[in-house]
Structure 1
Amino acid sequence: MARIGVEESLSDVKDALVQAGHEVIDLHSEEDASGCDCCVITGLDKDMMGNATASIEGPVINAQGNNADAICQMVDERLS
């Protein structure tokens, strides 16, 4: 399956993605995102203009306002 980078505070999302068969790594810095097929962030990294800095070419999913199941579905949809 895919390699997914997930921010540390999203432990429920990490668990759900592992159960779905994905390889999950913790995102501590921008360098951690390299080599990931997709990243899931908390949404707290956005600047005042509503932009987020992405250091990967794949999709970046904002977890804000979504539960773990919804995020897993978004990951699967964007990677298929």
Structure 2
Amino acid sequence: MAKVGVEQSLTNIQQALREKGYDVVELKQEADAKNCDCCVVTGLDSNVMGMQDTYTKGSVIDAAGMSADEVCREVENRVQ
């Protein structure tokens, strides 16, 4: 199953993804995102200064305004 990085504050999404069998990793620092197939973030830490220095091969999902079920569906669509 895919490895999904999820921001620490999104505990309900972490739990929902684990229940669906995903390997969930908490995103505590930039290096945690490197080997993830997909990352889920809140969008609160937006790129204010226009500097893009974090690299991940997977796609990034902004979970702002989304339910845990909606995020799970989005993850499923992107990691296929």
TM-score by length of 2: 0.90
Q: Does structure 1 residue 55 correspond to structure 2 residue 58?
A: no
Please give the per-residue CA displacement for 1:20-45, whole angstroms capped at 9, x wherever unaligned: 00000100111011111110001011
Task: Extract unaligned runs of 5+ from structure 2.
Answer: none
Q: Please, what TM-score do these two structures have when normalized by structure 1?
A: 0.90
For the aligned residue pairs, the C-alpha RMSD in angstroms reads 1.8
Q: What secondary structure, in the 3-state scheme, does the structure 1 residue paired with 2:61 have?
A: strand
Unaligned runs of 5+ in 1: none
Farther-moved stretch of structure 1 (40-49 vs 27-36): 40-49
Q: Following TM superposition, by how much is the alpha carbon of 1:47 offset from its aligned partner in structure 2, in angstroms?
A: 2.6
Query: How many residue pairs were aligned?
Result: 80
CA contact 1:46–1:52 (8 Å) conserved in 2? no
Give percent identity, aligned residues only.
45
Any idea what the Cα deviations from partners look like across 1:40-76, whole Å, max 9, x if unmatched?
0010111348887642021100000000000000000
Q: Which runs of 4+ in 1 moved over 2 A?
A: 47-54
